[in-house]
Structure 1
Amino acid sequence: MTLPLSHCCRSAALWLVAAAPALAQPAKPARPADYPIQAVSFTRVKLADNFWLPRLKTNTEVTIPASFQRCEATNRVKNFEMAAARTGKFATIFPFDDTDIYKTLEGAAYSLQLYPDEKLDQYMDALIAKVAAAQEPDGYLYTARTIDPAHPHDWAGPERWVKERELSHELYNAGHLYEAAVAHYEATGKKTLLTIALKNADLVCSVFGPGKRAVAPGHEIVEMGLVKLYRVTGKPEYLRTARFFLEQRGQHSGYDAKSPDPWRNGSYWQDHQPVVAQKEAVGHAVRAEYLYSAMADVAALTGDQRMLAAVDSIWQNMVGKKLYVTGGTGAVPGGERFGGNYELPNATAYNETCAAVANVYWNQRMFLLHGEAKYIDVLEKVLYNGLISGVGLDGKSFFYSNALQIKNSASFPQTEPQRAGWFDCSCCPTNLARLFPALPGYVYAQRGRDVYANLFISGTTDLTVDKQAVRVTQQHNYPWDGQLKFTVSPATATEFNLLLRLPGWARGEALPSDLYRFADAPAAPAIGIRVNGQPVRYAMRNGYAVLARKWRKNDVVELVLPMDVRQVLANPRVVDNQGKVALQRGPLVYCAEWKDNNGKASNLLVPAATAFTARYQPAELNGIVQLTATVPAVQVDAGSNSISTARQTLTAIPYYAWANRGPGEMTVWFPARILDVDLVTRPALQAEQKK
């Protein structure tokens, strides 16, 4: 979420009395439908993983404290204090700056489940009290107006909600408040933030709806937040209002449908068509993926088949034509938006970190709808590549955008060459702060007697299957090693199905579409499964190995995945990648960076027959498997005015780890052979020649 054009009721006392019983014992509403599969809650999964747990610990010890500190230093907290006093001048740049506090509170709440911290808990209580004090009596919460209603932020408009479609972000702020409130309530059992959120949601529901005010929210997420509040309280108004907001899209008469400009035709906001008529991922990528997540939520909870068909079609378009090999989305910097089909440039790739977060949310929901491994395959690609590339290994430096190529040339267009500690629009750092500690909730899912193991992350979960307690423990060194071990321990012998995801990449499928493929897909990938040391036969269902048996205490399942280095080819319609290959090992996409390759990366070739060696390097970049191979490298001899190739060692590192050792060249896609040479005169040289 960034700049929309260039970048980025009853009294409080009565309400609390009425709401208190529902909060004490959250209702279990009778719903006409729901996700057929349910994720196992983050509160029931304890991680002990060599790859992810250090990242979550860094998020707790560095990212979240740094985020709170920066919210204080940049006056985001001061905005709430002034709103409580009803005096002062809005002290930050954007009216959505309130959400950086909400997202950090959400991340901190999840984090308390991993690492209980009394001091952090007390700080959060104090901060939530400031949020409560800033809320107006009827539930309205938006510091950009409340501080000085006579002189609100320029984007806010003279009255509440009047600029919600384009600029104000009033409902966007509300959505992040709701998400934070539910996380805080689930993690701590406290109702303080939830009470604030419900009071605001009641106001929103009283203002918007049939026969009342109508708008398609300019930056989606309020829809997702309302669904979460519905799940906690069972209050049908929240679900109805979420659906109402979705159905307002494509109803605005002020757009020019014939204009190719995404702001003039409404596609920038996904407001160009009714949602049930949309078939293609368009517009601002973060807004879009929050919208598609909400569409999945509402389709699941209402049984709306037209909405389900639409979100299915949009997903197919994104995965088949608009997804980077690293899982990034949003190719076009102008508007941070999806481009046309197969428009996937490398040097100018925008790939906002927030879009990676939103893509995780969306794919998780698509899996819960359909139970197909392909959605988790995409989610895993995003997690291990385009998402964690957004934060440095130090936990306090970030990428807003995530390019696939950086070249040292003043004439070469590119996005950010190095990470920054904070941004004027700091949605990405705070989005990461909330996603990381929520990761335990993505590992397992359940549908009756089907238990899905989706992500390969060491740790323990406690489930209930047919009223029997079952513990599942993972122990392995993924993603570096493909030897996976699961220990299944029911309290008493219990029949159920353990579904192990067999990743598409392990089955010879680079992506569940023809957008990317492996250059040398083997006829029979080496996947093996043993139970208690014995090879077993298994049925395949939607990309899962189904192990159906009566499980007994300490049954051991071993899954072996091939970890060969694979060359990836793009669909020929991706112009930037014609004649090029990318490198993948397991779920990880690799890149070459200047630091390891004689100061350059743009001169390296990877012919089809190149053989790579994979070696774990514990001292490099917090421990990585490094790839090396001998390849041709283009050499320019300025003295003799000649170009040649020479053999040298190519060293590749996981894409997520680049830019942790200073700025310089980087590339994900390598030419397989020389087809042409572009002679580019640098601007400085051009100026010199004109003298």
Structure 2
Amino acid sequence: MLKRSLFAIGLLAANAVWAQPKKDYPVQAVNFTAVQFTDNFWLPRMKINHTVTIPASFARCESTGRVKNFEMAAAHSGKFCTTYPFDDTDIYKTIEGASFSLSLFPDKKLEAYIDSLIDKVAKAQEPDGYLYTARTIDPTSPHAWAGNERWVKERELSHELYNAGHLYEAAYAHYYATGKKNLLNIALKNADLVCSVFGPDKRHVAPGHEIVEMGLVKLYRITGKPEYLQTAKFFIEERGHYDKYDAKSKDPWKNGAYWQDEVPVVDQREAVGHAVRAGYLYSAVADVAALTGDEKLLQAIDSIWENVVTKKIYVQGGLGAIPSGERFGDNYELPNATAYNETCAAIAGVYWNYRMFLLHGESKYMDVLEKMLYNGLISGVGLDGKSFFYTNAMQIRNNASHRSMEPARSGWFECSCCPTNLTRLIPSIPGYVYALKGDAVYVNLFVSGNASIPVHGKPVNIVQQNNYPWDGALSFTVSPQKSDAFSLLVRIPGWAGNQAIPSDLYSFTDNQNCKVTISVNGQPVDYILDKGYAVIKRTWKKGDVLKVNMPMNVRRVAANEKVKDDQGKVALQRGPLIYCAEWADNDGKAANILLPADAAFQASFKPDLLNGVEILQSDLPVITVDEKAQTVSTTRKTVTAIPYYAWANRGKGEMMVWFPVKVRDIDIYPTAP
């Protein structure tokens, strides 16, 4: 496995040494192929993704006609047989995920199947590089969203460039993981067409659903071709310059805010519109700012990030509060009963926050990424690997008037963006663990495994051994080839101190003296904290053992008083995990639990529950209703809370994240049907 990974890296280096960009992120990611996991939390999820989720996704692409669309496009015969013109991307995203997975679990059968799909994609591509089955099958009668000619509805409906972006992302991952160019060549041919069509003296458009910008940047990284970066920047700069709509309209469909096109990006200071599109745009803005040195774009993206983290993110990392338009709400508009929190938005948030870290080298971005990753993102896939949430609720109540949008998981969706997006994110997580800046090695995520990281041109092997996220005791064995002086920067998460999130949007209700201790070879180390990282600078020798101990106390989280839905309520957090109460552990109810200020919780690991979870338990007052006597009272019962990500794996029922501290009033609702 390692030999294969090093081969892929070596091949890329041999083919593209000349392509290194002149400007780039100050901090550089360590490629996913250089990190292997051995842990008990992420590795099983990656295996399930490989053995269950990816095969199921490919099977559904076959059974729903997504593959058939490519076959018909190659034959120029038939009728587009799925619902949306962006259905092509489900194949691209699953190929991307499968490619990442191949670097973890070599699989000749899967690799051969991917090659067979790539062959079908190649045959569906038109001679000039155009690739869009919704038109190519029958150009005289294309999909209703596509328009009679290429690109004419790109800003609003067609998703032609969105499809292209996911093609480029898949090609990048496939090339890195396998060293093959069959998908890359398709992507480059399409990208050359896109660059020939769009530009300052060519066709103008702000892509309606962003991601082509991210994809073009990745192709630029492989080839060094300046047109790819220039076109990505062009698409960003095209936003906010249209006169075809009423710019003063409050309707986001008319003023362009739905797809972040209401004002130029350099003038944007607030996250607006469709949360997934926004996350992809903001990721691309970070890319382009880094690669071009554009300070105005950097200022814009910094301001937008501040807006999200101070006013528009849910406590479990979810983004996009409003179901209508799958979009961000107003500042502090974070309702629980109707929370949307699309899984794809959490995925886009991971992409964006990692790029913000690469720009600034500050731990706060990784703190937010970790919150998303361990909570609002993996909640989107069931423990079985084949059931999903499109949206991620914050509460489920049995009262009909308070029922959330999606109380049960689904095997597939007509718009299946979330399941296929998960296939590509989960196996890419090794690429987020480490990063480099000169001779400083960043440790961002705490996952057991080993990595080979180049320092001073020579590999340094780092072995992590921990039981994260259940235990805060971390161990790192550091082994350079020869004794060498460099810095190891270990992220000290905000939650390990007294920061629930890097803003005042959420805060812990108590100030605990949570001292993080560090030792090297058994000797305590006094460390400097710089931008949220413990800096351990020394001459490292083979077999040095660094140990970090982070207390994992159960913390109560309160929201800013401007978040109306959370007033008088608290949430529970232990380590990076947000907890919830679910019906299955609490006598069929969860919406009747009170969490008074003096409540104390005990944590215990249950290996046979939900694939192994740390639960929290406390004796709490629970509201009970005696229907016969028509009375309401409180009784003390043992209440169990589970990690938020694990809910809805045992059937339908109530779930709560935010608990009232005391009874202030009682609403009366009819019995749920």
1:242 equivalent in alignment to 2:221 = no
Counterpart contact for 1:23–1:233, Cα < 8 Å: no
Q: Which amino acid aligns with 1:311?
A: I
CA distance in 2, matches of 1:78, 1:403: 34
Q: Give, in angstroms, the shift of residue 339 of structure 1.
A: 0.2
TM-score (norm 1): 0.95
Correspondence 1:343 to 2:333: yes
* Cα deviations by residue, 1:70-96 (Å, 9 ceiling, x for unpaired): 000000000000000000000000000
CA distance in 1 between counterparts of 2:551 and 2:244 reads: 54
Equivalent position SS for 2:300: helix
| Residues in 1 aligned to 2:215 and 2:516: alpha-carbon distance in whole angstroms | 40
Q: Secondary structure at the match of 1:286?
A: helix
Q: 1:629 is paired with a residue of what secondary structure?
A: strand
Residue 23 of structure 1 contacts residue 191 of structure 1 at CA under 8 Å; is this kept in 2? no
The question of whether the paired residues in 1 share the 8 Å contact of 2:21 and 2:221 is answered with: no
1:140 positional shift: 0.1
How far apart are the structure 1 equivalents of 2:45 and 2:669?
41
How far did 1:467 drift?
2.0
Q: Deviations over 1:583-634 (max 9, x none)?
A: 0000000000000001000000000110000000000000000100000011
The one-letter amino acid paired with 2:275 is A
**Counterpart-to-counterpart distance in 2, 1:466 and 1:379:** 29
Check if 1:200 corresponds to 2:190: yes
Letter paired with 1:404: M
Deviation of 1:572 after TM superposition, in Å, equals 0.3
Distance, in Å, in 2 between the alignment partners of 1:233 and 1:448 is 24
Which residue of the partner structure matches residue 147 of structure 2? 157
Alignment match of 2:25 (pick from 30, 35, 41) = 35
Q: In the alignment, which residue of structure 2 is the partner of 1:618? A: 607
Give 2:3's aligned residue.
Answer: none
Corresponding residue SS for 1:67: helix
Partner of 1:371: 361
Distance in 1, matches of 2:58 and 2:446, equals 31
Shift of 1:657: 0.2
How many angstroms does 1:24 deviate by? 6.9
**What is the CA-CA distance between 1:678 and the residue it aligns to?**
1.1
Q: Out of 650, 658, 666, which is 1:661 matched to?
A: 650
| Equivalent residues of 1:462, 1:471 under 8 A apart | yes
1:257 deviates by 2.3
Is 1:551 equivalent to 2:575 in the alignment?
Answer: no
Tell me the distance in 2 between the aligned counterparts of 1:588 and 1:413.
24
Partner of 2:420: 430
- 1:320 is matched with which residue? 310
Shift of 1:33: 1.7
Match of 2:524 in 1: 535
The 5 A counterparts of 1:409-448 are 409-448=399-438
Aligned to 2:4: none
For the 8 Å contact 2:444–2:490, the answer to whether it is kept is yes
Contact 2:172 2:219 in 1 (8 A): yes
Deviations 1:48-88 (A, max 9, x none): 11100000000000000000000000000000000000000
May I ask how many residue pairs the two structures share in their alignment?
663
| Alignment-derived partner of residue 231 in structure 1 | 221
Structure 2 stretches lacking a partner, 5+ long: 1-10
Separation in structure 2 between the aligned mates of residue 255 and residue 449 of structure 1, nearest angstrom: 51
Counterpart position of 1:678: 667
Contact kept? 2:398, 2:672, Cα under 8 Å: no
Give the letter aligned to residue 409 of structure 1.
N
| Aligned residue in 2 for 1:6 | none
Contact 1:366 1:375 in 2 (8 A): yes
Counterpart selection for 1:64 from 45, 54, 65: 54
After TM superposition, the score normalised by the length of structure 2 is: 0.97
Contact 1:482 1:563 in 2 (8 A): yes
Runs in 1 of length 4+ with deviation above 2 angstroms? Answer: 21-24, 27-32, 680-684
User: C-alpha offsets along residues 551-591 of structure 1, whole Å, 9 cap, x if unaligned?
Assistant: 00100000000110000000000000000000000000000
Matched residue, 1:82: 72
- Structure 1 position 281 matched with structure 2 position 308: no
Structure 1 567/23 Cα, relative in aligned 2: closer, same or farther at 3 Å?
closer
Superposition deviation, residue 195 in structure 1: 0.2
8 Å Cα contact 1:27/1:234 also seen in 2: no
1:146: Cα distance to partner? Answer: 0.1
Q: Aligned residue for 1:271?
A: 261
Structure 1 position 598 matched with structure 2 position 606: no
- Paired with 1:28 and 1:44, the residues of 2 have a C-alpha distance of 22
Unaligned residue ranges in structure 1 (runs of 5+):
1-20, 685-691
Q: Which residue of 2 aligns with 1:108?
A: 98
SS of residue matched to 2:245:
coil
Q: Distance in 1 between matches of 2:358 and 2:28?
A: 6
Identity among equivalent positions (%) equals 67
Distance 1:521 1:333 in 2: 36
Aligned amino acid, residue 355 of structure 1: A
CA–CA distance in structure 1, aligned partners of residues 625 and 369 of structure 2: 41
Structure 2 Cα separation of the partners of residues 81 and 172 of structure 1:
20
- Whichever residue aligns with residue 468 of structure 1, its letter is K
Q: Which residue of 2 aligns with 1:647?
A: 636
The one-letter code matched in structure 1 to 2:424 is R
Question: Cα offset for 1:484?
Answer: 0.3
Give runs of aligned pairs for residues 206-605 of structure 1, distance below 5 A: 206-522=196-512, 524-605=513-594
Question: 1:130 and 2:116 equivalent?
Answer: no
RMSD in angstroms over aligned alpha carbons?
1.1
Between the aligned partners of 2:582 and 2:283, the Cα distance in structure 1 is 35
Q: Take 2:340 and 2:38, find their aligned partners in 1: how far apart are those partners?
A: 34
How big is the shift at 1:32?
4.0
Displacement after TM superposition at 1:41 (Å): 0.3
Structure 1 counterpart SS, 2:60: helix
The corresponding residue for 1:5 is: none
| 8 Å contact kept, 2:375–2:645 | yes
Letter in 2 for 1:246: I
Q: Distance in 2 between matches of 1:417 and 1:582?
A: 20
Q: Distance in 2 between matches of 1:60 and 1:465?
A: 32
The whole-number CA distance in structure 1 between the counterparts of 2:672 and 2:665 is 22
